[in-house]
Structure 1
Amino acid sequence: MRSINFSLKNFFSTSLTLILILALAGCGNNEEIKLGFLYSSDITIRFNKESQFFKERAEELGATVVIDHANDNDALQYEKAIEMMDSGIDLLALIAVNVNTAENIIKEANARDIPVLAYNRLIPNSDLKVYISGNNSELGKDMAGYVVNKRPEGNYVILGGDKFDRNAVELMASIENTLEPHIESGRINVLYKTYIEAWSPPHAAHELDQLMSSNPKSVDAVIAFFDGMGVACIDVLKKYQLEGKVIVTGQDAQLESCRRIVEGTQHITMYHPLETIASTAAEVAIDIVNRENLEDKYDITYTDNGLKEVPTVQINSIPVTKENIDEVIIESGFYNRSEIYQ
């Protein structure tokens, strides 16, 4: 009888030990995951914020994250991507400097069996694992729809983003589709339309200044695709005593644009819920490394990048105007009131 008790005691002890080991292994599974977040440049404020949100969420889930950016230099970005791969990352989240040359990073990653998550910028003709993006179709409808509501007639200027960035191309298509019936009716005239290389504020300002100095027609609205470009255009309008009189748009909810919205010189920005986007990206990244089926957990669509239909997670943006800036921006904690109302 004593031998039986001894055996049972050992059995339960061994079983308990195994259960604890398995439980600890399950809890610590993500601790072995190392993610890389490599973005284009720290000039774009939202990317700085998103890299930190991504890291915070991934670390909450037990993973580790290395972050770097490439000073808007695609050759440097390639070097930094290789450094991250050499350091032993399990997945690379990438905001490409140049989507056309970033394919080389994807090829190297795939050769090492490291999946790549394209963040914000789709990389064409490459074997991406997943694409995290906003919804450019809805963004364009909201942005252009707001302008039409405020200026249903008049001369419009459209300053798009970089023509090699799919986001800029998709946004341009959505805005054109939204404006088309108003253009056909003759109520709206597109005075000038162009893409702006690298989404550059100085380039956008130069284009608008050249137009206004040489064209006698009035400008009633400037649809700028990025807050930095919008602010630069407001400075040009000020030169012609037109600040606040011309409708100006932007996106990214940058601080200076939020201040301009409050003062009435910029009229709308499109706020991307950065924490939601970045946190979702971190969750998707960890699920990919753990070989989870994404369609079981996320609303997956597919985006053709020329090589394949890339699984895509889209997150809608929120229009921000003077009427709702307190609710959307301040109450969410994105900025505090003293930062905006100076």
Structure 2
Amino acid sequence: MRGRRWRVFVALMAGVLATSLAGCTENGQQSDDNLTLGLLLPSRAVPRWEQSDKPLIEKRVKELCPDCTVMYANAENDAASQRQQMNSMITRGVSALILDVVDPKALRSSVRAADREGIPVVAYDRLAEGPISGFVSFNGGQVGRLQGEALLKGMGARADGGGVVMMNGDPSSPNAAWYEGGSRAVLQDKVRILKSYSTLGWRAENAHDHMSAAVSDLGPNQIDGVLAANDSIAAGVISALKSARISPLPPVTGQDADLDAVRRIVEGEQYMTVYKPFRLETEAAAAMAVALARGNDLDALVTRSVDTPTTQDVPAVLLTPIAVTAETIGRTLVRDGVYTIDQICTPKLRPACDRIGLTR
């Protein structure tokens, strides 16, 4: 009788153990069969998030983990919405999160909630706060320096003491201060910074309003260059300058290599953009998220560590940005397959493309 009871007990424990290990591999790592990765992007105002980052991350996750599922949400630049989206993914039991944070402070509690549930968070492009497990971005200080150096070059003789308007990013984004710091380090001893604005939501319409106000206050002949933090902001700046009938346009910087911005560069309306090879960033983020979801560490994937206001020594990958002007579109964006010449050179732009050597 005693032997029978023992056999029943062993059978019951075997069933419990099998249930507890369901979805795990023999070495304790989680099986790919039930892995879901959450992807939270900040907005649609900047075209790259939906057109480049989302599909590239989804593609790379599937390459690394064919049975993994990607759950996606876009916050439309609203921190409250992103907090709700992230909390929903935590409740649904995702295995890891890739978070491009709208507002680091506003999402700090959600990052902590994920940590309590054992869900690792990879901060993507913008450095989140709270107990994050990894960070992938481009070096923001270098982005700003590239913009500042290009602006000085575009200003020519006016780079010595000329007047510049700075159109910075959204102050809720940690990257905005990162970019501004890099550009100011280049510009501060060379030019006069006449006006400096923060552009809420990185939106073109907000940049347009700020630039219109600057032209009204300063007059059209005082502005020798505009440091625009990204291409959406540059679009608003250029629209305002054209509305004020300023000709020729002063050099205007940008960032993200949006297709419309590249066309503006070809046409001579925008001086430069900063190309951040998105494939490298998306591949690094996907690899980190899949590794963490499987229960692995990031030692083989990261190149350095960074500190946040709340967390020290976060494993990180910081990639190198590339300045793009009219002369370098072909050997950067076209060479890397970001755009084809036919995509850039519309019939209207064909003569301008020919002038800069952007031919089939």
- TM (norm. structure 2) is 0.82
The alignment status of 1:179 with 2:187, answered yes or no, reads yes
Aligned to 1:160: 168
Shift of residue 31, structure 1, vs aligned partner:
4.2
CA distance in 1, matches of 2:26, 2:71: 23
More displaced 10-residue stretch of structure 1: 313-322 or 260-269: 313-322
Q: Check conservation: 2:102, 2:172, Cα contact below 8 A.
A: no
Cα deviation code 1:183-217 (max 9, x no counterpart): xxxxx211111222221211111111111112235
Cα deviation code 1:284-328 (max 9, x no counterpart): 111222343423333123233334332221111111110011221
Aligned to 1:271: 275
Q: Which runs of 5+ in 1 are unaligned?
A: 1-23, 183-187
Aligned to 2:291: 287
Cα deviation code 1:156-196 (max 9, x no counterpart): 111110122110101111111111332xxxxx211111222
Shift of residue 79, structure 1, vs aligned partner:
2.1
Q: Check conservation: 1:36, 1:67, Cα contact below 8 A.
A: yes
Aligned partner of 1:122: which letter? L
Shift of residue 247, structure 1, vs aligned partner:
0.4
Shift of residue 47, structure 1, vs aligned partner:
1.2
More displaced 10-residue stretch of structure 1: 267-276 or 243-252: 243-252
Aligned partner of 1:104: which letter? S
Q: Check conservation: 2:224, 2:251, Cα contact below 8 A.
A: yes
Aligned to 2:40: 38
Aligned partner of 1:222: which letter? V
Aligned to 1:214: 217
How many residue pairs match? The answer is 313
Aligned to 2:74: 69
| Structure 2 counterpart SS, 1:262 | helix
| Structure 2 counterpart SS, 1:298 | coil
The alignment status of 1:81 with 2:86, answered yes or no, reads yes
| Structure 2 counterpart SS, 1:304 | coil
Cα deviation code 1:56-77 (max 9, x no counterpart): 1111112321212122222222
Shift of residue 241, structure 1, vs aligned partner:
2.8
Aligned to 2:192: 189
Aligned partner of 2:38: which letter? G
Aligned partner of 1:192: which letter? K
Shift of residue 280, structure 1, vs aligned partner:
1.1
Cα deviation code 1:17-65 (max 9, x no counterpart): xxxxxxx989x94444321101122232111121211111111112321
Cα deviation code 1:232-267 (max 9, x no counterpart): 111111123335530001101111111100001101
Q: 1:260 to 1:329 in 2, by over 3 A?
A: same
CA distance in 1, matches of 2:75, 2:171: 20
CA distance in 2, matches of 1:213, 1:271: 32
Q: Check conservation: 1:197, 1:203, Cα contact below 8 A.
A: yes
CA distance in 2, matches of 1:243, 1:334: 31
CA distance in 2, matches of 1:180, 1:53: 38
Shift of residue 130, structure 1, vs aligned partner:
0.9
CA distance in 2, matches of 1:267, 1:321: 6
Aligned ranges 1:179-328 → 2 under 5 Å = 179-182=187-190, 188-216=191-219, 217-242=221-246, 244-328=248-332
Aligned ranges 1:113-128 → 2 under 5 Å = 113-124=118-129, 126-128=130-132
| Structure 1 counterpart SS, 2:282 | helix
Aligned partner of 1:205: which letter? H
Q: Which runs of 5+ in 2 are unaligned?
A: 1-24, 347-360
CA distance in 2, matches of 1:264, 1:337: 17
- TM (norm. structure 1) is 0.86
Aligned to 1:16: none
Aligned partner of 1:228: which letter? S
CA distance in 2, matches of 1:284, 1:221: 40
Equivalent in 108, 111, 121 of residue 103 of structure 1: 108
Aligned to 2:351: none
Equivalent in 49, 54, 58 of residue 51 of structure 1: 54
Aligned partner of 1:181: which letter? D
Q: 1:304 to 1:81 in 2, by over 3 A?
A: closer
Aligned partner of 1:178: which letter? V
Q: Calculate the aligned-residue CA RMSD, in Å.
A: 2.1
Aligned to 2:15: none
Shift of residue 110, structure 1, vs aligned partner:
1.2
Cα deviation code 1:62-103 (max 9, x no counterpart): 232121212222222222222222333110111122222111
Aligned partner of 1:258: which letter? V
CA distance in 1, matches of 2:154, 2:79: 40
